C-alpha cells in the first residue's frame, strides 16, 4: 500500500493555490507548516488513516525542485463532471494542460481522465471510472 506521495516545489504559495483547487474537493484536508503542505483524508476516531497522504515540500537538499520524467500522481474524482470542473479550476490556478478531460482509446470504456502539470511541472491526473456514468462506447 502506498502511504504517501511527495512532490517538490520551489514556490509553496503558488503550489498551494494550485492544489487548493483540487484536493479539498476530493476530501483532503490541509495542514500547513514550515515544512510545506500536508494533505490528508479525514480519519474517524478510532480508525486508521485513509492513505495515501499527499505532500508538497521544498527540496531537502536545497537544490531546485524538478518534475520526474514519467512520474505522475492520479487522484480519483467522484464523477466525470468533477474531473472537468477540477481540471478547469486547476488551469485557472496556474496549472497547465497535459490532456483535456475525456476518454482515451487505450484505457477501459469508463475511464474518464484529464491531465495537468502543477506550477512546478509535476504531472497530475484527475479521473473517474464510475460504471454508472456513460462510457466511451456510449458516446457514439
* 10-residue mean pLDDT series, the chain (140 residues): 93 97 97 95 93 95 91 97 98 98 94 97 97 86
What pTM, to 2 d.p., does this model score?
Answer: 0.92
For residue 80, what pLDDT is reported? Answer: 98
pLDDT for 92 equals: 98
Q: Which of 121, 111, 101, 98 is nearest to 11 (CA)?
A: 121
The Cα 123–Cα 132 span in angstroms is: 28
- The rounded distance, in Å, linking the Cα atoms of 55 and 81 is 26
Are residues 70 and 12 in contact, defined by beta-carbon separation less than 8 angstroms? no
Report the alpha-carbon distance of residue 10 to residue 136 in Å, rounded: 38
Q: Give me the pLDDT at residue 138, please.
A: 86
- For residue 53, give the nearest of 2, 110, 100, 127 by alpha carbon: 2
Grid cell for residue 5: 506521495
For domain 4-60+71-139, the CATH architecture is Roll (3.10)
Amino acid at each position: 500500500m502506498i502511504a504517501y506521495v511527495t512532490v517538490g516545489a520551489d514556490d509553496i504559495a503558488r503550489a498551494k493555490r494550485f492544489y487548493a483547487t483540487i484536493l479539498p474537493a476530493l476530501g483532503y484536508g490541509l495542514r500547513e507548516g514550515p515544512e510545506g503542505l500536508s494533505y490528508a483524508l479525514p480519519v474517524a476516531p478510532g480508525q486508521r488513516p485513509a492513505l495515501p497522504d499527499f505532500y508538497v515540500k521544498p527540496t531537502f537538499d536545497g537544490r531546485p525542485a524538478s518534475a520526474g520524467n514519467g512520474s505522475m500522481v492520479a487522484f480519483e474524482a467522484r464523477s466525470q463532471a468533477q474531473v472537468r470542473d477540477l481540471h478547469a479550476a486547476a488551469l485557472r490556478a496556474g496549472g497547465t494542460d497535459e490532456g483535456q478531460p475525456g476518454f482515451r482509446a487505450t484505457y477501459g470504456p469508463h475511464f474518464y481522465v484529464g491531465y495537468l502539470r502543477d506550477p512546478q511541472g509535476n504531472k497530475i491526473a484527475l479521473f473517474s471510472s464510475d460504471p454508472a456514468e456513460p462510457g466511451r462506447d456510449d458516446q457514439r
